[in-house]
Structure 1
Amino acid sequence: MRNALGYAAVVGQVVAVVAGAPLLTGWMRLVRARLEGRAGAGVLQPWRDARKLLRKEPVTPVGTGPAFRVAPALLVATTAVAAALVPLLSTATPVSGHADLIVVVALFALGTLALALAGLDTGTAFGGMGASREMTVAALVEPTILLSVFALSIPAGTTNIPAIVADALGQPARFASPTGLLAVAALAVAVLAETGRIPVDNPSTHLELTMIHEAMVLEYAGPDLALVELGAQMRLALLLGLLSSLFVPWGIATGASWAALAAAPVLCAVKVAVLGALLAAAEVCWAKVRLFRVPELLAGSFLLALLSVSASYFLNGAS
């Protein structure tokens, strides 16, 4: 029964991320539109856009190689594997032992690298520019994610993410400590950068001076573009889910209980929807920072993550 429950949790996590990611994007667009005084296109609009793109003929630019053709599928695949590892619904799954912090971050980095290589493979100025900017951002974001979660792993004594979440469920006061506050601030900024949101990037513009992610995918069309957009939406949903699992872990199943597993998707959807609404509301009030100020912002988040690790080490060493 435990194995059946674990496999059901893994399948549920992957299905929830794949099917719910476009809905999350539509929800965030709707919240932003309402705050700006517009009606909005509706929550299901990303699925309508994907259906329209899937009906079109794929177009491959002349001179591109395997990197351009493989990148969309690799982006979706790496995110789906990460979704199976991150404890969104349950901490007791058959793959929990492999859900190490470094493995999950490496999967995110592999998807980023695939898109950067695809941008370079086109041989266009926009593709090279976007790839260069993306790798600059990734060089600061990935260490920040590692340090933020590592700060939470020190009290648990392991870098296994399900074990960190299970340990945190028994000590809710930990989130109000200096370690928790610094780590959540650093990880929140890293999520904004990793998903290409304001103030680091603007996903709704193609202006040359501002775009990072969009510059790498300008040459995609049809089903390939649908996969790229789905991969980006999945990364956003998964990172918000990781943020909620680490800092608001209540509702995640920890034992062999079908009732707890049945309630976990609802609670996870509510937490991610709230985080998405807060992010959309913040984007209405924020302005995108200048490109040359982005490294300063990310360096600040890295410093917060480093301080959270130091605080965790000294506080747990003192106790």
Structure 2
Amino acid sequence: MAVMSIFITRIALAVAVLFFAPLVLGLIKSLKAKLQNRRGPRLWQPYLDIIKLLKKDEVVSPTTCWVFRVAPFGYLALAFAAAALLPLPLPGQQETYPDIFDVFLLMYVLAAGRFILVLASLDAGSTFGGMGGSREMYVSVLVEPVLVLAFLTVAAPAGSTGLEAMARQAAQAPFSVPYVFAGFAFFILLLAETGRVPVDNPDTHLELTMIHEGMLLEYSGRRLGLIHLAAAVRQLIIILLFVIFFIPWQASWGGILPQVALKVVITAAALAVTETCTNKMRLFRLPGFIAISGLLSLLALVAQ
């Protein structure tokens, strides 16, 4: 019975993340437009875009195989699975989750989604797809080791890599010096993992700068809509990890979920401000930028 309860809770959480992910994406786009004195899209515009794409027919290159056709479904399924692993308590939830809900499992699931999309970009045989896929792997090689280091700043004092234990430990020492360092480090990784400026620009298809968008140029119609939805889900997952582990402070008013929603809005606003105040960075300057995150994570470990 307990296993069934945990399963239903996790599925409900994943469905909620899937539903609200486009709204967070629309919030970031809307805030960024307002900061740039533009009218910008409506908050629900990403929903309309995804629905429009899901209704359209597809044009598939004859050079592709089953990898290209299956990749969007696998990409979305893995994003959904990652959302189900989040240590976000729902109302009335009292269960203690098993050790399988581990931070390394979450990272592997997210990395597998990236790997599937890169394979699909190479399968199309286009120049831009291969370029986008190679750049995506270049960024992942830089980001993932530093991401492990950032998570260790929370796992070390918790004595466990279990997501629930890490969340409990973070809630016991909010805004201490190590968590401030680790929070800044993870925010840099948040920009890289979600493909935001200065690492990538999600609003352009300029061949000299695009990374994530370069992998999608051969997709259209339903499969492109699924990829956009999965990308929005992955973005919200990373934002929620930042909120849960590095902004764990709880106010006396309201419940847990309203406070988490408020923190997500604040983080989305911070992303919009960062994108407005910075420019796209040259690809070969990214190692130095990611190294700042690694240095801050090391300082956080030393300060504990």
The TM-score by the shorter chain falls in which range? over 0.9
In the other structure, the counterpart of 2:228 is: 229
In the other structure, the counterpart of 1:315 is: none
In 1, are the aligned partners of 2:180 and 2:246 still within 8 Å (CA)? no
Query: 286, 289, 304: which one pairs with 1:294?
Result: 286
Instruction: Provide structure 1 residue ranges, at least 5 long, that are not aligned to the other structure.
Output: 253-259, 313-319
1:64 aligns with 2:56: no
Letter in 2 for 1:37: N
1:94–1:164 Cα change, 3 Å:
closer
Query: 100, 103, 106: which one pairs with 1:104?
Result: 106
Equivalences for residues 146-165 of structure 1 within 5 A? 146-165=148-167
1:56–1:162 Cα change, 3 Å:
same
1: CA distance between counterparts of 2:94 and 2:301? 27
In the other structure, the counterpart of 1:124 is: 126
1:304 aligns with 2:296: yes
1:182 aligns with 2:181: yes
1:224–1:273 Cα change, 3 Å:
same
Letter in 2 for 1:10: R
Residue 213 of structure 1 deviates from its aligned partner by 0.3
In 1, are the aligned partners of 2:197 and 2:279 still within 8 Å (CA)? yes
Residue 8 of structure 1 deviates from its aligned partner by 5.1
Residue 48 of structure 1 deviates from its aligned partner by 0.5
Q: 1:141-195: per-residue Cα shift (whole Å, max 9, x none)?
A: 11111110111111111011111111222333xx322x21221122111111111
Q: 1:218-257: per-residue Cα shift (whole Å, max 9, x none)?
A: 10000100011011111111100010000223459xxxxx
1:211–1:92 Cα change, 3 Å:
farther
Residue 266 of structure 1 deviates from its aligned partner by 2.3
SS in 2 for 1:166: helix
In the other structure, the counterpart of 2:240 is: 241
Identity value in percent: 41
Residue 274 of structure 1 deviates from its aligned partner by 1.2
Letter in 2 for 1:33: A
In the other structure, the counterpart of 1:255 is: none
In the other structure, the counterpart of 1:37 is: 37
1: CA distance between counterparts of 2:109 and 2:33? 33
Letter in 1 for 2:301: V
In the other structure, the counterpart of 1:271 is: 263
TM-score (norm 1): 0.88
2: CA distance between counterparts of 1:119 and 1:76? 16
1: CA distance between counterparts of 2:89 and 2:278? 32
Letter in 2 for 1:155: P
2: CA distance between counterparts of 1:155 and 1:73? 38
Residue 17 of structure 1 deviates from its aligned partner by 1.1
2: CA distance between counterparts of 1:310 and 1:171? 16
In 2, are the aligned partners of 1:33 and 1:40 still within 8 Å (CA)? yes
Residue 9 of structure 1 deviates from its aligned partner by 3.5
Instruction: Provide structure 2 residue ranges, at least 5 long, that are not aligned to the other structure.
Output: none
Cα-Cα RMSD: 2.1
2: CA distance between counterparts of 1:171 and 1:4? 32
Letter in 1 for 2:26: G
2: CA distance between counterparts of 1:151 and 1:169? 14
The worse-fitting range, judged by mean Cα deviation, of 62-71 and 213-222 is: 62-71
Q: 1:66-119: per-residue Cα shift (whole Å, max 9, x none)?
A: 221121111111111111111123585575531211111111111111111111
1:119–1:95 Cα change, 3 Å:
farther
